[in-house]
Each structure stands twice: as structure tokens, then as C-alpha cells.
Structure 1
Amino acid sequence: MRRTAALVTAGVLALLSGCTGGEGAAPDAAPTTEPAAPAQVALLPADGAADVAPAGPVEISVTDGELTEVSVTDAGGAPVPGRVTDGRAEGTEVWTPDGQLEWGTTYTLTATAANADDEPAEATSTFTTVTPESVSTPSIGPLDGQTVGVGMPIRVYFDEPVTDRAAVESHLVVTSSTPTDGAWNWMSDTEVHFRPSQYWPAQTDVTLDADLYGVPFGDGMWGEKDRTVSFRIGEKHVSIADAATHRLLVYDGDRLVQDYPMSAGSPDNPSYNGPHVVTELNADRVMDSSTYGVPVDSPDGYRTPVRWAVRLSDSGEFVHGAPWSVAQQGNSNVSHGCINLSTENARWFYEFSQPGDVVEIRNSDAGTLTSDIADWTIPWDEWQAGSALK
């Protein structure tokens, strides 16, 4: 009896041992995982920010997560339509309104992100845009829809001095159908020009997007509105007026089409050297010395009607008909600084020309051109140094 009971007991123990996996093995342990770091959301403008530029960036930065939702509402709670795009910095998104943020208005930005465990995190910023002391819309040349020559720079003129040049320049965007290496140069506090390193390629379409609404110009002045100007670069007309040979060589593209005798500025009134840009054409014009400071009734003064006048600078230089100097054209310089041609030749040149064409005056006794458009006299490295964006 005792032996039988011992066998039964041994069998039960063996059965129990088999149920535990044998050889004393412990049950499988449950895997352990660390929770994901919570997502963190930072906003710009910061909560409570005032005098915010309406055109300034609205940025959302997310750490340890991904952005899932962005909303902007005005002071009344109405949603402001917009879109989110990637920012320049890694992990940064930029919200851009479909329209424009208003002056002196309070907005609330709310952004939500989720971490790797899909746990949400939210941040909110309420900010107010600036109420400007004054607003300004600059003038732009060339005009929208105009066709100009290869030497015409883009010119932007401001009513008052611009002290925040970098902010303004960063919102002046030039695109062209033929890519160029163009750059901006601040000619003064109220004027900035854009040109390529060489003359524009002929038959090129150019667009300036001056996105200046809500951009600070400095000293309390702000951009009033956005403007877009599109124009076309036409045929390449670059002429050479040589004061030493007394010849005007006229090129259509790379082809010489005219070789005219001419008379440049006299030794007492020499023409300026350098590339001149055509800005104006007048079939009839009165040349008046008082326009550049010499009284008409003085010994050197004059008031003379001329035909077929093509303006080259704001210092009184033109290509025009001068029948009184035909005998000197081709052999001596006798003008007050203009390029004198016969009436017939001047008419041909007038009909050939367009604003933006270039006339390069060479070998004159005067210095280098100083004019409202003397852009091509500035070496390219110096031109680039005139940009506010480094």
C-alpha cells in the first residue's frame, strides 16, 4: 500500500513538472517599451506679440513629433484661410494666408502635433499686427507691358528714404524666361536698380513681383500693397559712338547696319564716356541749356529746336539731327555734348531706337557718365556689393 501511494505521488509530481515546461524553465516575460517623448510645438509670432508685420512669417516648429493641424482665427473667431508649407529650417513649417493679414488686427494661431505614440500636443499664440504710421507704394520702371532694349534696368523709386533695405529687397523677386545672374543695387536711400552682369538677353520676358504689402521700410513706414510688373526685352541694339573716329556704328543684334559720320561734344563741352541707356524719343524737341544749369542768355547758353532727338542721359545728351554741323560730322567734335547727325541719319536712328537701347560713347575727353541710369558703368563686383542681402 505504501509503495503504491508513492508511485501515484511521483506520477502527479511528474505531471505538474511537465506543465511548467520542464527543467525548471520560467514563464516568458512580457516585453517592456519606453513611452515616446512628447511632441513640443513652438510658434512665431510668440503669444502676446504686438506690432507684428502683416507680411512677416507665421512659423510653427515641432520637436519629437509631426504637425497635424494648423488654424488661424481673427478677433471674432472667424477662420482665416491659409496654407502650410515647409520652412527653411528643419522641423519648421510656415503658414501663409490665402489673402493678406490686416493692419492693427488680432489673430490667434493654434497648432497641433503628435508624437510617435500619436499623443497630441497643442500650442496657441495670440498676436496683433502693426498699425502703421505711414504707408508707401514705390514707382517702378519699366512699365507693365512695355518692350525695352537690352540695357534697361529695373528701377524702383520710393517716396521716402528706406532704412530697412534688406526687408524691402527680400520682397523684390525677379524672374525671366531666359535665366540671368541679376542683382539689386541701392543707388540711394530712395532708389534701387536690378540688372544682370551683362546686357539682358534679347527676346526675354521679365517679371518683377514687388510683394511689399506689410513689409517694413523703416522709420514707421510700411509697404502699402503688392505690385507685379511684366515687360519684354526686345531686339538687341548696342551702338558705338566713337569721339576719336567721329563715327556712330549702329548694330542690330551682332550685325552692323549703319556707319554714320557724327560729331560729339566739343573740347569745352565733351560727351561723357560709357554705356548710355536710351530713355526718351522726341520727333521735335527744344534743346535748352537752362535744363542743366546754363542760363539761355549766357555766353554758353542756347535754346535750339531740333528734330529726331533720342535722349541718352539726364545731363542733356541726345542723338539728334544737327544740319548746322554736317560739315564737321565725321571729322571733328563741335556739339554741346550731344551726338550730332544729319537730319536724314537722325531720323533713321530715331525710328530704329527704343527705350533701353544702349549707346556706348568712347574716347571722349570727359569723364565717365553720371546719370539717372549709369548702371552699366559700375563693375559687376561693385554692383553686387550694393545689395542689402549678403
Structure 2
Amino acid sequence: MRRTAALVTAGALALLAGCNGGDERSSAAAPSTAQSAPAQVQVAPADGSVDVSPAIPVEISVTDGELAEVTVVDAAGAQVPGEVADGDTEGTEVWAPESPLAYGTTYTLTATAEDAEDDPVEATSTFTTVTPETLSTPSVGPLDGTTVGVGMPIRVYFDQPVTDRAAVESHLRVTSSTPTDGVWSWLSDSEVHFRPSEYWPADTEVTLQADLYGVELGDGVWGEKDRTVSFSIGDRHVSVADAATHTLTVYDGDRVVQTYPMSAGSEANPSHNGPHVVLESFRDITMDSSTFGLAVDAPGGYRTDVEYAVRISNNGEFVHAAPWSVSSQGNANVSHGCINLSTERAAWFYDFSRPGDVVEVQNSIGPALSASDGDVYDWAVPWDEWRAGSALK
């Protein structure tokens, strides 16, 4: 949005001249006085501006004087409460409303300055904020107040493609009690995730400030409101599922707490390699091959009731109880891509796990986890590639 400044200049220079009388010897020059330079006031948005973001800073700069008063009224003449503070550049001050300006509303700003002789100078700007075609609030995960594992990225989902990724990303601010090198990365025009180069530090408090009110998201869609989400990172739970040794090693922090025999995906349906993130858990669930395109009655198809199922990707991979494969657990990979455990061991893992915990699958003959596997494949992306996905260079 083009922003211009309105310039109002007031003041006059008075010239006093003396007259001489008599001859040259008796003549004397009359004294003269020079007035100080008049104050000059500039304001932005400029007078007559339209389609102004209601979140844009209202700036006032004064030359050869000091700002004395700022008032803002709406179209009905009602005064808008606000305060003046120093701006980011020297000599500039910013008026900030107590509550955000409204969309589709006309405002009049009057700024009064005084020069060295206390003579007032006034600048006025009447501007109109944009009227959005649609207002939208993106979805955010994790949810406010939750506790998640060290592998859970921050995820922001928009209802429509974002046209200015940099503008939106600059209004997504992440702070944490333990500082990290986290970076946003755009997975698509409507989805952006935040993660550090390594898993989150355990026992960390994280806050996302999504200050998107007054930000254009794309094609006439504007941010409906600002939103703050705070969540906690819990204990470090990172398990290693080794398809070559058929072993699931479970860590609580740096300590190994379980080493279980397991069965990973078969040659026909290999598990995907890479860091998987626990998404949700089910005490009982019916698994159906048709959910990923294989008919139940097709060769290899299935429909099975399963206990203690911990989802680790959106491509159908779980850690779950598989009493039918106990004889293969620890020596062969026979599953459809899941990590099979005995019922007792799966029950323990189910109780141990929370969303955001990590299961690193390694030495499978399958491909690496990727975008085709659903929402959270973030840790399978190399760090340099992840950073390249940011719109802020």
C-alpha cells in the first residue's frame, strides 16, 4: 500500500526596516530582529488516502518545533482514544489507538505542533480504512494451553492462498523460554510451519503471536483478529524403530526405558524412513486399507480392529498392538507399514506417548517420509532446505 505524507507549513517571516534622517554623519542603523523558523508538521497516512490498513502506524513528524497535541475522530466526530509514542526513526512519533481501528471506517487525524515562540501549526489528514471482501482467522496448532512432545512444530493453516508470504510471516512471532534458532517454512501457499534445527528443548514454554489483524492474506481476504497461542514442550521422548534389527528402542530423555522386539513394514509395504511425529492415539480403532486407496477385498487389502494405536504419520503408519504378528516381531518385517508390537508392549507405549513425541524409523527399505505422507514430515527436511522455505531472507 502506498503511503504518502501530508505536509502542512505555517508561519511567516516579518522584516523590520529602519529609516535614516539628517546627514550621513548623524545617520544610525535601526536594530533588526529575526523570527525563528516556523514549525512544520507532516502526517501519514496522507489526507485523502483510502484502502488503508487499520493496523498501519499513524506517524507524525515535526521540524523546527514540538508536537503539542494529536486527536483522531471517526466520521461521526467521536474521539478515538490513543497515545503518542516515539517512532522507529528519529524525529518521528506514532499515534497508537487504545483499540485497533475498524475496517471500512473514515478517520480524521489532527496534529498540532508549536514552534520556539509557541505559535501553533496544525496538520490534518482524513483517511479511510480498507473494506475487506472477507475476513479470515487461520487455524493454529498446537492448541493454546496444551503440552506436546519435542517434535511438534507450530503449524498455521490459511483458508486461501497467501499472496504476500513475507508480510504474513513477519506478523508471526515466536518466543520461547529456552531460545532456539527456529524458522518458518512455507509448505504451500496456505500452510506455514515453524521448527528449530533440532528438536525443541524439553520443558520449554512457547508462545506464538499471530498479529494478522489489518494484514491482507490474499485476494481481498484480510486478517480478522490477532491471536496468541501458548503451549508447553514436555519431556523428551524420542524412540528409534530399526527395521534392520526389528527393535524399537524407547528413550525418556537420554535414558533407554524400553527395548522391544517389533515388526516393521514388509517388502511390499515398507515403512517410511525418517523422524515421525506422534499425532494422536486410539485405544481401539478399525484400520481399513481403503483409506489409502487399497480396496478391502483386493489382494493385500484389510479391515482390522486394532488396540493401542499411536498414529505417527497421516499415511496410515501407527505403532500398535498386533498379536497376530508376535512370532515375527524381533526377526521379520511383515506389517503394512506400521510398527507392530505385542498387546502388552503396545499398551505401555500408548500410555507413554503424547502428541509431538518422535519415532525415528531407520534402515527400512522404504522411501523417506515426505510431503505425500501428510501434515508433519518437517524433521525429514534438511535444515538448509527448511530455511530456504522462509519468505524472510
> Is the pair's TM-score, using the shorter chain for normalization, greater than 0.5?
yes
Overall identity of the aligned pairs, in %: 73
Q: Which residue identity is paired with 1:382?
A: E
Pick closer, same or farther for the CA change 1:239–1:31 going to 2, 3 Å: farther
Secondary structure of the 1:381 match is helix
Q: In structure 1, what is the Cα distance between the partners aligned to 2:348 and 2:34?
A: 85
Moved more, 47-56 or 60-69: 60-69
Q: CA deviation at 1:30?
A: 11
Determine the structure 2 residue equivalent to 1:381.
384
- Displacement after TM superposition at 1:339 (Å): 0.6
Give 3-state SS (helix, strand or coil) of 1:41's partner.
strand
- Give, as a single letter, the amino acid of the residue that structure 1 aligns with 2:77: G
Within 5 Å, which residues of 2 pair with 1:175-324? 175-324=175-324
Write the distance in 1 (CA, Å) between the matches of 2:67 and 2:360.
58
Taking structure 1 as the reference length, the TM-score comes to 0.88
TM-score by length of 2: 0.87
1:105–1:260 CA distance, 2 compared to 1 (3 A): same
Does the 8 Å CA contact 1:56/1:215 hold for their aligned counterparts?
no
Q: Which of structures 1 and 2 has the bigger CA Rg?
A: 1
| Partner SS, residue 382 of structure 1 | helix
What is the aligned partner in structure 1 of residue 130 from structure 2? 130
Shift of 1:94: 2.1
In 2, Cα distance between the equivalents of 1:234 and 1:30? Answer: 84
Quote the residue 1:95 is aligned against: 95
Contact 1:50 1:127 in 2 (8 A): yes
The corresponding residue for 2:360 is 360
Distance in 2, matches of 1:353 and 1:191, equals 26
What is the match of residue 13 of structure 1?
Answer: none
Counterpart code for 1:366? G
C-alpha distance in structure 2 between counterparts of 1:288 and 1:325, whole Å: 18
Provide the C-alpha distance between the structure 2 equivalents of 1:110 and 1:382, rounded to a whole number of angstroms: 49
SS in 1 for 2:79: coil
- Measured against aligned partners, the alpha-carbon deviations of 1:264-293 in whole angstroms (never above 9, x if no partner) come to 111111111111110010011111111111
After TM superposition, give the deviation of residue 366 of structure 1 in Å.
1.5
Aligned partner of residue 198 in structure 2, secondary structure = coil
In structure 1, stretches of 5+ residues that fail to align are 1-28
Alignment RMSD (CA, Å): 1.9
Equivalent residues in 2 for 1:102-181, closer than 5 Å: 102-116=102-116, 118-181=118-181
Q: 1:330 and 1:35, CA in 2 relative to 1: closer, same or farther beyond 3 A?
A: farther
Question: Partner amino acid for 2:41?
Answer: V
The Cα of 1:71 is off from its aligned counterpart by: 1.8
CA distance in 1, matches of 2:167, 2:225: 15
Equivalents in 1 of 2:243, 2:172: separation in Å? 39
Match of 1:16 in 2: none
Q: What is the CA–CA distance in structure 1 between the aligned matches of 2:32 and 2:391, rounded to whole Å?
A: 57
Shift of 1:201: 1.3
> Aligned partner of 1:191: which letter?
E
Query: Shift of residue 33 of structure 1?
Result: 8.1
Q: AA paired with 1:96? A: A
Q: Which runs of 5+ in 2 are unaligned?
A: 1-28
Cα distance in 1 for partners of 2:32, 2:324 equals 103
Aligned partners of 2:103, 2:298: CA distance in 1, in Å?
Answer: 56
Aligned match of 1:11:
none
> Residue 80 of structure 2: SS of its match in structure 1?
coil
CA distance in 2, matches of 1:94, 1:170: 20
SS of corresponding position for 1:347 = helix
Report how far residue 121 of structure 1 moved.
3.0
Matches within 5 A, 1:71-90: 71-90=71-90
In structure 2, relative to structure 1, the CA distance for the partners of 1:33 and 1:381 (3 Å cut) is farther
Give deviations 1:64-119, integer Å, cap 9, x for gaps. 44433222111122111122233222322222211121121100112233445554
Shift of 1:313: 0.4
C-alpha change, 1:79 and 1:347, in structure 2 (3 Å) is same
Q: State the alpha-carbon separation in 1 of the partners of residues 93 and 381 from structure 2.
A: 40
CA contact (8 A) 2:160 2:218 kept: no
* Cα distance in 2 between the residues matched to 1:262 and 1:205: 34
One-letter code aligned to 1:359:
V
Q: Residues 152 and 31 of structure 1: is their aligned pair in 2 closer, same or farther, counting only changes over 3 Å?
A: farther
Q: How many residues align?
A: 362
Distance in 1 separating the partners of 2:246 and 2:383 = 29
